[in-house]
């Protein structure tokens, strides 16, 4: 799966709807897209938006305190946003995600009143549906798919047990662990 496009609206410093196109495999050279800009211009917010749309729940990792902190807070020129929305479009030509579509669009939206929703190809779904599809395609919100600032340092400092989690995702056992967790939860409720 390849990240093809990102739509960001009302998320952190992205007051206006913005579209980022990434170099995909169709351009012959499997591209690397680099985002440059001065300190504080919002480069890390792009990485945060990727983490967030993939379902990240940890506000600490998203560099905020409460979930509402990801919504554009307003500036001298522009009023604050009522919601934050990020859509990620992934190329799924090899069908790594178990969906019969050549493109997969994942959307996460959060309103100021706390209401939130996840969409998969514009249909409302549960977060766990997205997580399972992504886990099967080895594409998670943490670990190796999105490596944040300082993460390599902290990876080196992790205990062997903690570091295993990182390799579990890379080796593809995450979906099985995810299913196991779901079954344990179901049994606990039975
Ligand atoms: P550096 O190079 O220093 O790491 P950066 O380019 O990665 O910087 P970010 O950390 O992505 O910059 O962006 C920080 C900016 O985002 C700050 O100006 C901050 O005020 C703004 N910001 C973060 N959250 C919000 C929000 N909810 N509403 C408006 N602006 C926000």
| Distances in whole angstroms, Cα of residue 122 to Cα of each of 27, 31, 59, 127, 165 | 26, 27, 25, 14, 31
Task: Extract the tokens encoding 6.
Answer: 């990102």
Share of the chain above pLDDT 70, in %: 89
For 46, phi and psi rounded to 5 degrees? -65, -45
Mutate to test the pocket of ligand 1, among 6, 9, 12 (most ligand atoms within 8 A of CB): 12
Q: What is the DSSP string of 149-172?
A: TTHHHHHHHS-HHHHHHHHHHHHT
Pocket of ligand 1 (CB under 6 A): 12-13, 37, 39-45, 69, 71-73
Average pLDDT in the 43-59 region? 91
Q: Are 148 and 47 in contact (CB under 8 A)?
A: yes
- Given this model, what pLDDT does residue 179 score? 83
Distance 37 CA to ligand 1 centre (A): 11
Torsion-angle region of residue 143: left (phi > 0), alpha (psi -120 to 50) or beta?
left
Q: Are 88 and 11 in contact (CB under 8 A)?
A: no
Average pLDDT in the 94-115 region? 87
Mean pLDDT for the chain overall: 86
Distance 65 CA to ligand 1 centre (A): 14
Exposure class string for 111-136: b at 16+ Cβ within 10 A, else e:
beeeeeebbbeeeeeeeeebbbbbbb
- Given this model, what pLDDT does residue 140 score? 59
- Given this model, what pLDDT does residue 132 score? 83
Lowest-confidence region among 25-39, 66-80, 104-118, 171-185: 25-39
Mutate to test the pocket of ligand 1, among 10, 16, 38, 44 (most ligand atoms within 8 A of CB): 44
Distance 91 CA to ligand 1 centre (A): 28
Distance 45 CA to ligand 1 centre (A): 6
Nearest CA, atom 3, ligand 1? 39
Distance 75 CA to ligand 1 centre (A): 12
Residue 141 predicted with pLDDT over 60: no
Residue 33 predicted with pLDDT over 90: no
Nearest CA, atom 14, ligand 1? 40
Average pLDDT in the 79-106 region? 87
Distance 1 CA to ligand 1 centre (A): 28
- Given this model, what pLDDT does residue 144 score? 56
- Given this model, what pLDDT does residue 112 score? 96
- Given this model, what pLDDT does residue 92 score? 83
pLDDT band at 29 (very low <50, low <70, confident <90, very high): low
pLDDT band at 168 (very low <50, low <70, confident <90, very high): confident
Predicted TM-score (pTM) of the model is 0.82
User: Could you report how far apart the first and last alpha carbons of the chain are, in Å?
Assistant: 37
Q: Tell how strand 18-21 and strand 2-9 pair up.
A: antiparallel
- Given this model, what pLDDT does residue 87 score? 98
- Given this model, what pLDDT does residue 24 score? 65
Q: Give the residue, 154 or 102, on which the prediction is more confident.
A: 102
């Amino acid at each position: 799966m390849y990240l093809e496009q990102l739509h960001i609206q009302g998320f952190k410093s992205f007051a206006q709807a913005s579209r980022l196109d990434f170099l995909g495999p169709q351009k012959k050279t499997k591209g690397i897209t680099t985002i440059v800009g001065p300190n504080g211009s919002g480069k890390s917010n792009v990485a945060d938006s990727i983490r967030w749309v993939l379902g990240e729940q940890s506000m600490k990792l998203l560099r905020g305190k409460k979930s509402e902190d990801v919504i554009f807070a307003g500036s001298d020129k522009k009023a604050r946003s009522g919601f934050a929305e990020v859509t990620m479009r992934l190329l799924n030509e090899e069908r790594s995600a178990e969906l019969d579509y050549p493109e997969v669009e994942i959307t996460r939206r959060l309103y100021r009143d706390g209401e939130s929703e996840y969409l998969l190809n514009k249909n409302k779904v549960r977060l766990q549906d997205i997580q399972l599809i992504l886990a099967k395609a080895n594409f998670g919100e943490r670990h190796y798919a999105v490596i944040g600032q300082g993460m390599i340092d902290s990876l080196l400092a992790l205990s062997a047990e903690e570091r295993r989690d990182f390799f579990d995702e890379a080796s593809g056992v995450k979906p099985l662990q995810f299913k196991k967790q779901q079954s344990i939860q179901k049994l606990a409720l039975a």
